[in-house]
Structure 1
Amino acid sequence: EKGEDAAAKVALNPEKWLEFKLQEKATVSHDSELFRFSFDPSTKLGLDVASCLVTRAPIGQEVEGKRKYVIRPYTPISDPDSKGYFDLLIKVYPEGKMSQHFANLKPGDVLEVKGPIEKLRYSPNMKRQIGMVAGGTGITPMLQVVRAILKNPDDNTQVSLIYANVSPDDILLKKELDRLASSYPNFKVSIGVLLGLLSCHMGDC
């Protein structure tokens, strides 16, 4: 395909808010949910590594015809090359305006999205080794980079990830991280629980 045609076949627009329909959602942990949004299956999302997208939701009532919005960035955990859908892993906070908006979405509802927002332009083998530290849903941007490295047979980057969580119930995507670590020798992951670390520090081990 010519570059111009390929460029046109992306779902995101960095300058314009677009609506994406919620296809399904699933509970991942006691306070986190996975949301799958759909778009034209002949296109891909158009998200480079490493970048995120931005979501917005209306809050309050219209004042003089103007609406206020809450805006938050998120990194999809689905493969950027997946066609027709993207997945967001969201931690739902009781007082979180955006996360409560997500929690109230039902299949068929739409989410306003804009992007991509580039955080770091990753290129294969730009570093021999990369060390990552993540906590909670902070795993999502790390996973995006890890998957990009591991799916490329020509990328020899060694990746080490330390993933910390408050309790065992807060650990997200453990099966996927373990699968990647067992399948790819250039990826090492250590998953820790802060409560256990604190107990050990206080002499309870």
Structure 2
Amino acid sequence: MATRGILLASLLLSCLIQACYGAVLFSSLKNTLQVTTSTKQGVLQAGEDRITVTWGLNQSLPAGSGSDYKTIEVKLCYAPISQKDRSWRKTEDLLTKDKTCQFKIVERPYNNSLQTLDSIIEKDVPTAKYFVRAYAFNADGDEVAYGQSTNDEKTTNLFDVRGISGRHVSLDIASVCFSAFSVLSLFFFFFMEKRRGKTTQHK
């Protein structure tokens, strides 16, 4: 009986550990990173335009801050206005379920100095309004801190991206050419059949 009790306790403990593993809440993270972005004026085109991101530890923090940071991950995130009525972009406090930041810009080992990256906006980024957020991870791979290019309400320093619609001028031209070729081919075969019929009648 004692052995069975130990096994049950071990199983329960294991389940609790699995339930807690990766259960990091965004509200528990420290806002210790500074993140700024720079883009051209106007709407950015996915697959063409670029964004410059700068991130680093807030220099006003005490010495030794960030000593447990091992990795930095910078992501493109949906602004609230582009999340409305879109459950697949919904913000959740539990980071494993959060869908705010779905597009990774870069992942690098943590460095105390300011880091800057000039990156093209990927082709799979859809039309929406965005900001940039950086996460700091510890040695266990858990998020422990963050910083973002907007305010807490996520209403400032936003930028617009226009996604690729899937239609291209070259495809439209090819479609027109193919249609024209099909029509010409139809007339050609019709003409050849008619001519062959006349030849048969003369024989």
- Report the TM-score, using the length of structure 2 for normalisation: 0.29
**Bigger strand fraction:** 1
Bigger RCO (CA 8 Å, 6+ sep): 2
Asked which structure has the greater CA Rg, the reply is 2
**Bigger helix fraction:** 2
- Report the TM-score, using the length of structure 1 for normalisation: 0.29
